[in-house]
Amino acid sequence: MIDIIIIILSGIFATAVMCGFLEVVARSKLANADMVRAVGSLFTASYENALKPGLIIQFGFGIVFSFIYFGVLSFFWSTGPAVIGIIGGVVMGFFHGMVVGLSLVIVVAEHHPLAVFRKAGLTVAVAHLFGHMIYGLVIGIIFAASGIRILVTSVG
């Protein structure tokens, strides 16, 4: 039971760090990376009412993905030095970020109800790529430090 709580808290913490990074990027005007309001406004069609649903959705998926990351990391990196699990988390974050970044640029931006989020170029994709790599880094560090392994069966 404690393992499940740690994985849930890992997802919450990693999501908070990722969202914090994306907020810094958005506030610095490097890219329109306000993922929380972009996701929330997909459902509310309003920028002003997007924060609460965006946070719920973002953190909900962050928790779900923490279980996925822990499962994949357990499958591929159940033994070995801790740095392997950390690198594995970053690699997973890279591929996760590629999918999210490309989806934002190709699909979401074209159909978003708010004009402010309809323009998503390379800078938005790169910001989300790095944000997800940071998420993976945090999950990888917690995975390596916790010793939690799920979905691993012993043969023999």
Range of the domain at 102: 2-146
pTM of the model: 0.90
Identify whether 138 is part of a domain: yes
Identify whether 153 is part of a domain: no
Q: What per-residue confidence (pLDDT) applies to 87?
A: 93
Q: What per-residue confidence (pLDDT) applies to 94?
A: 97
Q: Is the pLDDT of residue 153 over 60?
A: no
Q: What per-residue confidence (pLDDT) applies to 152?
A: 57
Q: What per-residue confidence (pLDDT) applies to 148?
A: 82
Identify whether 155 is part of a domain: no
Confidence label for 156 from pLDDT (cuts 50, 70 and 90): very low
**Residues 17, 8: Cα–Cα separation, whole Å:** 14
Identify whether 152 is part of a domain: no
Least confident of 31-35, 36-40, 63-67, 117-121: 117-121
Average pLDDT over residues 56-83: 89
Which two three-digit tokens encode residue 142? 């917690």
Identify whether 154 is part of a domain: no
Identify whether 156 is part of a domain: no
**Structural domain count, the chain:** 1
Q: Is the pLDDT of residue 73 over 60?
A: yes
Q: What per-residue confidence (pLDDT) applies to 54?
A: 93
Identify whether 16 is part of a domain: yes
